[in-house]
């Protein structure tokens, strides 16, 4: 059962020091939710720390309050409360977990259907298109002021996780929340330009490489692309440049599911998968390899080598796509 928003607010009341964090390889929802929640806690007079294993990525520095987010420092730090946002699996908090003594008040707020409810207090809404929308509803219910800075962060969180309000889980309420955030001070044109029209040239080179290297199944329903460590070195790309590449592959009319394989140091392979058909559950496929997410967007980390991981995952995905025949 979910804790109520009022229960979560009451649990945070006595806390003097609060840590707010989200998953490694963060996206706009992870950062936007983290910063918005941290800014609200600061307005209550809390001593707030915002961590992410990757620190603050350059591509998200347009977010007001971005300088609040840092990579974890030290070991065994004690906090009165810990709020984990947009993180379906506890270990995806990464080195954040290694840097703290786990507090009694551990709050888990998320929208992934695969969330394991690992907190002492959990609020999981898999119908919400973004954790940023949950944070908005939370602040509205507990009487938190949505300042222009908080509004920008929540709008960015929702916009990026809904594909600019176009993914299937976007609801009428999502547009209503967006309108309320605009009334709270969001300049849609300026923020959207920062989100979508300021990519480095190296990301365009990565996209070119992905399109040239895309592999289609014989029936055209599955498309995949693999990025090797050698490719990364040659192209000079950063991990943050990979976000959104898979959506270009998924856009082909015959494609039902798309997969992006990324070779990592240490013999691991990162898998990102997307589906365009509710009958094809990529979360179910990723769960076979210890991953999770949403039915239409999920990921996993697999043991290499890369070719083996590709073969295993694509066979499982082929079996899943075959269910709709």
Please check the confidence at residue 74 and state whether its pLDDT lies above 90: no
Terminal-to-terminal C-alpha distance of the chain: 36
Residue labelled with tokens 């990757």: 54
Residues 47 and 174 in one domain: yes
Residues 214 and 178 in one domain: no
Report the domain count for the chain: 2
Residues 180 and 62 in one domain: yes
Which range marks the domain in which residue 249 is found?
201-324
Residues 149 and 220 in one domain: no
Residues 209 and 319 in one domain: yes
Q: Which of 152, 178, 196 is the C-terminal boundary of a domain?
A: 196
Task: Render pLDDT for 256-280 as a digit per residue (tens, 0 to 9).
Answer: 999 999 999 999 999 999 999 989 9
Contact 40, 59 (CB under 8 A): no
Residue 299's pLDDT is what?
93
Residues 136 and 114 in one domain: yes
CATH of the domain at 18: 3.90.1640.10
Please tell me the distance from the alpha carbon of residue 45 to that of residue 133, in angstroms, as a whole number: 24
Q: Which of 142, 162, 196 is the C-terminal boundary of a domain?
A: 196
Residues 240 and 92 in one domain: no
Give the residue among 42, 48, 52, 129 at the shortest CA–CA distance from 85: 52
Task: Render pLDDT for 183-200 as a digit per residue (tens, 0 to 9).
Answer: 999 999 999 999 999 889
Q: Which of 161, 196, 231 is the C-terminal boundary of a domain?
A: 196
Question: Beta-carbon neighbour count of residue 74 at 10 Å?
Answer: 7
Task: Render pLDDT for 276-293 as a digit per residue (tens, 0 to 9).
Answer: 998 999 999 999 999 988
CATH of the domain at 260: 3.10.310.30
Residue labelled with tokens 């006595």: 14
């Amino acid at each position: 059962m979910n804790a109520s928003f009022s229960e979560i607010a009451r649990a945070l009341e006595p806390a003097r020091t609060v840590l707010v964090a989200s998953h490694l390889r963060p996206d706009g929802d992870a950062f936007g939710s983290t910063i918005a929640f941290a800014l609200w806690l600061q307005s209550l007079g809390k001593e707030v720390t915002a961590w992410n294993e990757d620190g603050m990525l350059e591509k998200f520095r347009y977010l007001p309050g971005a300088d609040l987010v840092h990579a974890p420092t030290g070991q065994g730090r004690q906090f009165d409360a810990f709020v984990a946002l947009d993180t379906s699996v506890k270990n995806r908090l990464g080195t954040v977990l290694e840097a703290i003594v786990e507090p009694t008040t551990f709050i888990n707020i998320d929208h992934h259907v695969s969330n394991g409810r690992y907190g002492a207090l959990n609020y999981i809404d898999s119908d919400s298109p973004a954790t940023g929308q949950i944070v908005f509803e939370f602040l509205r219910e507990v009487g938190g002021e949505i300042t222009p800075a908080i509004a920008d962060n929540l709008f960015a969180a929702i916009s990026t996780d809904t594909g600019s309000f176009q993914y299937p889980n976007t609801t009428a309420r999502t547009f209503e929340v967006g309108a309320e955030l605009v009334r709270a001070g969001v300049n849609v044109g300026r923020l959207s330009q920062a989100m979508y029209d300021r990519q480095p040239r190296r990301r365009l080179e990565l996209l070119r490489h992905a399109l040239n290297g895309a592999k289609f199944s014989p029936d055209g329903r599955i498309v995949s692309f693999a990025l090797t460590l050698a490719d990364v070195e040659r192209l000079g790309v950063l991990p943050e440049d990979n976000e959104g590449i898979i959506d270009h592959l998924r856009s082909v009319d015959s494609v039902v599911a798309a997969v992006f394989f990324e070779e990592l140091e240490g013999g691991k392979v990162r898998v990102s998968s997307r589906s365009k058909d509710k009958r094809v559950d990529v979360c179910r496929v990723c769960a076979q390899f210890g991953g999770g997410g949403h039915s239409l967007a999920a990921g996993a980390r697999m043991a290499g080598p890369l070719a083996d991981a590709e073969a295993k995952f694509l066979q499982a995905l082929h079996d899943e796509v075959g269910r709709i025949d």
